[in-house]
Amino acid sequence: MADYNAPVKDMRFIFEELCDFEGLNGLPAFADVTPDMVGHILNESARFTGEMVAPLNQSGDQQTSTLEDGVVTTPDGFKEAYASFVEGGWNGTPFTPEEGGMGLPWTLTTALQEMWQSANLAWSLCPLLTIGAIEAVIAHATPQLRATFLPKLVSGEWTGTMNLTEPQAGTDLSLLRTRAEREDGHYRLKGQKIFITFGEQDYTDNIIHLVLARLPDAPPGVKGISLFLVPKFLVNDDGSLGERNNVKAVNLEHKLGIHASPTCVMTYGDNDGAIGYLIGDEHDGLRCMFTMMNNARLNVGLQGVSIGERAYQQAVEYAKSRVQSAPVSGGGDSATIIQHPDVRRMLMMMRAQIEAMRAIAYYTNSALDVSRHHGDAEVRRANHARMDLLTPVVKAWCTDLGVDIASMGVQVHGGMGFIEETGAAQYLRDSRIAPIYEGTNGIQAIDLLGRKLLRDGGGALGDLLDEMAQVDADLLATQDADCAAVQRSLAEGRTALRTASEWLLDPKNNDIDAKFAGATPFLHLTGTVVGGWLMARSALAAHKRSANDGDRSFLEAKIVTARFYAEHVMPRVHALLPEITQGSASVLALAEDQF
């Protein structure tokens, strides 16, 4: 397995050219986040992940986490790496100093999370869930609960989990059966949850579970769900740990990938019931949990970027060292496979899509930062709408591509990629969960079409399409052949996306099943075009920088990669558009008994 080297240079380029990091620095909340600080934080995180976390990736996959008598043991080195992570203050990067954090923008934290996930996806899931739990507690918990639990959650001394799924209730949470009973100042929970990531671990002495359950008088459906904070150990008034709560892991799931991550079956209340504390209002738990879920969806989308980057780095290293066959152009002697055009094509496809995915993930999080901290209410509103629109795209488009890229990494290795010792197969196995959890990608497509396009009449997407068009003149003004090719491709992509959205919004098309039959192609069309827009902006920025910047090799690669995206990825829009506007009949034609 190749070493992991965080792509710090590309991260900083995206911050500066696509995310208006200078503008973020101008907001009072981020006034102290200077370029020098950003560089130091990125470099230190790159050192930490490269030296401490990445070397555990393959060994952790092979050793796996184990469960015995309710106690989980994580693979060798995982606990120590987490202790160093906490000691470095990494868990609290996006939270305010008042909450015990560093007060960094989510945009920067996104880059740090990419490093953690690329280095070791299974290990990174613990802080990912904790950060989401912190968001939910900050947004919805009482001051007393925040005072009791936030400091150690933010520091990482305690970890957090998200408990939604039950054997009979996956996407449809209206079917959940876990019960909660009111009891003098708290609640008693009884039930079972499955697929609980890091539901039990040996990192910390307490785990804070956020659990969805029903009260006895709850109305039916999702409007009858409440959210509860259920600690592994109860906490005394002085902050010390009290008695063990009635919650435990009873099984670990045996999974296709992320073997080192303990995915638990959890039981609540085998005896008198697990003590829990209400988060938000009774029967309003799903809305409160969505704070955590939306955070997790952006971070899971980033997993597509992260696993793709790790697979790409390994594929490049292998292609530069593997000698096989003479060049097709002649020359007689066998050459390294990176000399072969088809291997180059695969590496460029991996590289271009990763850069587009990274750009859209970081850009969406920069919109999140502005939506929370800008002084102008209208600017906050517009950025919230942009973030809301792109969240399902980040989650689904990036993770679908992450699987494709990891698979392509195996292909670059040839037969050696199918052998576990090289490590290429692990990236493919690990990547496969990301399109499934935190809302399957089909659900994300439904969200994009139903809640984000149809509900607002296409307003947010229309604003984005109008903004995309503004880059055309600047690209053409360069009088550069690469930029001109990128502009032509982007214009075609915008036309396809606008045509698709207008067809979906047309009131004459009143067959809702026909529209939603094209939801996933529509999401992929949106991701492809938005990614192309950001790649176009990257090419333009690299062209402008090249006049004065000494790093010509890096900037030339940015421009060439953007042109490759324009010529090899953007043409997919011409296949996706008819899938949306003409393909529903064959999707829906067969009767159920014909399958």
Q: Is 246 helix (H, G, I), strand (E, B) or coil?
A: coil
Of 312, 357, 483, the closest CA to residue 18 belongs to: 357
**Beta carbons within 10 angstroms of residue 71's beta carbon:** 12
Residues 365 and 307: their CA atoms lie apart, in Å, by 19
Joined together, the tokens standing for residue 532 give: 């192309």
Residues 543 and 237: their CA atoms lie apart, in Å, by 60
Going from the C-alpha of 137 to that of each of 99, 205, 263, 486, the distances in angstroms are 11, 19, 23, 44
Residues 7 and 385: their CA atoms lie apart, in Å, by 29
Helix (H) or strand (E) holding 186: strand 186-197
Residues 172 and 147 sit within 8 Å (Cβ to Cβ): no
Going from the C-alpha of 302 to that of each of 116, 402, 503, 510, 544, the distances in angstroms are 11, 9, 30, 35, 28
Residues 253 and 320: their CA atoms lie apart, in Å, by 38
Any bridge partners for residue 192, and if so which?
Answer: 267
Residues 378 and 594: their CA atoms lie apart, in Å, by 52
Of 98, 123, 124, the closest CA to residue 109 belongs to: 124
Residues 418 and 425 sit within 8 Å (Cβ to Cβ): yes
Please write down the HEC assignment for all residues of 459-522: HHHHHHHHHHHCCHHHHHHCCCHHHHHHHHHHHHHHHHHHHHHHHHHCCCCCCHHHHHCCHHHH
Among the options 99, 114, 309, 438, which is catalytic? 438
Residues 435 and 167: their CA atoms lie apart, in Å, by 19
Residues 265 and 250: their CA atoms lie apart, in Å, by 6
Active site residue 438: yes
Q: Quick one: how far is CA 301 from the chain centroid?
A: 3
Straight-line distance from the first to the last Cα atom of the chain, in angstroms, rounded to the nearest whole number: 42
Residues 38 and 533: their CA atoms lie apart, in Å, by 25
Please write down the HEC assignment for all residues of 105-124: CHHHHHHHHHHHHHHCHHHH
- Parallel, antiparallel, or unpaired: how do β-strands 207-214 and 159-163 relate? parallel
| DSSP, res 327 | -
Residues 297 and 299: their CA atoms lie apart, in Å, by 5
| DSSP, res 376 | -
**Beta carbons within 10 angstroms of residue 173's beta carbon:** 17
| DSSP, res 253 | -
Provide the annotated active-site residues. Answer: 438
